[in-house]
Amino acid sequence: MKKRHLTTNQGVPVTDNQNSLTVGERGPVLLQDVQFIEKMAHFDRERIPERVVHAKGAGAHGYFQVYKSMKPYTKAKFLQEPKKKLPVFVRFSTVVGGRGSADTVRDPRGFAVKFYTEDGNYDLVGNNLPVFFIRDAIKFPDMVHAFKGAPDTNIPSASSAHNRFWDFISLTPESTHMIIWLFSDRGTPKSYRMQEGFGVNTYVWVNAEGRAVYVKYHWKPKLGVQNLDRHEATRLAGIDPDYLTRDLHDAIAKGEEVEYELDVQLMDIADEFKQNFDPLDPTKTWPEDKSPLMPVGKMVLNRNPENFFAEVEQAAFCPASIVPGIEFSADKLLQGRTFSYADTQRHRLGPNYLQLPINRPIVPVDNNQRDGAMQIGQFSGSVNYEPNSLAGGMSKEAPEEGTPRVYQLEGEVTRRKISITNDFAQARERYRSFSKMDQEHLVDNLIADLMHIDKPIQQRVIDNLTKADPELGRSVAGDLKL
Ligand code: HEM
């Protein structure tokens, strides 16, 4: 192995890394020990703010490849060419717990994919469950406050078994469908390699003729879906809090390829009001018999990060990172998400966070943003504005490719709930689709949590479960002696 020697950050050789610079062999230590000061000052700053949600995660690199061109539906360049392998980076995460929390607690799991495309980065920031607790982003800070540690005690750190969680949930009937998913064994996946992923929100695909269609994304793990039961999940949280992180890392380190298929559901925009639910409501799924899954391509994860901090901690995924051919729907949760992520990332990582290697597009970035903390761009010349004549008009606006989608919007300006809420029908269908064993696990998982909370809140939860399915409500109420 090539001999290397230690240096300071300025590149100056370090000849003694064991002893501080002192007066005599005991001290005191001198302020002029710049080597010590640099080392300690760096160490003092080695933590950045953790993500406000999804703080604990694991990442992997790999590639994505389409099976067949998606040209009829979208002009997105990375979805056109079956021969091409596109680099991706994925981060899986738990949601509620802080950075040091256990992997196997009941929680949704984040499933965030960064596609490094020739038209810039596309981020598909999804979860392992197909629906969400709420449908309007304005409720998200309250929801997360209620789920995370209490403001006075900081208890609990990563668990739903407490009054505040259920207080919020029981007053939020649209969460009932999500609760049926979360308290089934899907809330404790056995491996990040054995979980599905869902975009949850509805996006819009636009083709070169400007024709638009609604789209929902699904990831299917090649290994199939496998979950832990509550007892095993609890045991693992004690003996191996990094169980899911280790499982992903070790599989890839052994040379195993971790594979998922990307499927989409498409819906004609003209059909959006023909359903008995609002298709842009993220507390709902689209029935697969009416909107069948269409296979799009595969993703293979085959390389572990080498520096967790640089690649995983500093990774910044954002649902607003879209590319031509993909647009946002009017889904109110998605609309709020498009603001929140980059905003928090400017705070968490600094204004030039997209220059970090893990976040940087593989295509050149060319705009006039030359300043801001930690600027590392290579620029020259005196022109940092557009339009200009002094730099020959460069850099110019890019030409539009294809016909842009043009659509009309009209309506009164209002703060109002959507009118087709239908909050319990899909919760009921989901519950009834379970096997006997899955239904028993759901009831058992709910009771294990609800037994710790106050009676009036228990009663409100039962009321919502009963509206979903009277038998489910009765089973849970019976065991709680309500
Ligand atoms: C209004 C609703 C939501 C808001 C305001 C919101 C906000 C946030 C914020 C601020 C972060 C931290 C980002 C960072 O520091 O890099 C985050 C992370 C994340 N969110 Fe959301 N979120 C919402 C709903 C959702 C939904 C519905 C999903 C799933 C479809 C989701 C999936 C994720 C994932 C996977 C991460 C972690 C990304 C990573 O691995 O770095 N979120 N969210």
CA gap 146, 150 in Å, rounded: 8
Enter the DSSP assignment of 312.
I
**Domain 57-135+176-355: CATH class, spelled out:** mainly beta
Helix (H, G, I), strand (E, B) or coil at 299: strand
Q: Please say whether the dihedral angle defined by the alpha carbons of residues 376, 377, 379 and 385, taken in this order, is positive or negative.
A: negative
User: In the chain, what is the straight-line distance between the N-terminal and C-terminal CA atoms, in Å?
Assistant: 70
CA gap 360, 315 in Å, rounded: 10
125 close to ligand 1 (CB < 6 Angstrom): yes
CA gap 193, 128 in Å, rounded: 11
248 close to ligand 1 (CB < 6 Angstrom): no
- pTM of the entire predicted model: 0.97
What are the tens digits of pLDDT across the range 405-418?
999 999 999 999 99
Which of 47, 341, 349, 359 has most ligand 1 atoms within 8 Å of CB, for mutation? 341
Residue spans per domain, the chain: 1-46, 57-135+176-355
Q: What is the pLDDT of residue 479?
A: 83
The dotted CATH code for 1-46 is 4.10.91.20
CA gap 371, 377 in Å, rounded: 9
CA gap 155, 164 in Å, rounded: 10
60 close to ligand 1 (CB < 6 Angstrom): no
Structure tokens at 416: 């109002």
CA gap 453, 457 in Å, rounded: 7
Pick the atom of ligand 1 nearest to 111's CA. Answer: 35
Residue having the nearest C-alpha atom to atom 37 of ligand 1: 54
What are the catalytic residues?
54, 127
93 close to ligand 1 (CB < 6 Angstrom): yes
Q: What is the pLDDT of residue 481?
A: 81
Q: Where does residue 46 rank: exposed (0-12), middle (13-18), buried (19+ CB within 10 A)?
A: exposed
What are the tens digits of pLDDT across the range 370-407?
999 999 988 899 999 999 999 999 999 999 999 999 99
20 close to ligand 1 (CB < 6 Angstrom): no
Residue segments in the chain with a per-residue pLDDT below the cut of 50: none
Helix (H, G, I), strand (E, B) or coil at 338: helix
Pairing of strands 120-127, 57-66: unpaired
- In the block, tokens 């949590």 appear at 449
Structure tokens at 8: 């300071």
- In the block, tokens 């308290």 appear at 183
Q: What is the pLDDT of residue 158?
A: 67
Residue having the nearest C-alpha atom to atom 15 of ligand 1: 51
Which of 90, 142, 337, 346 has most ligand 1 atoms within 8 Å of CB, for mutation? 337
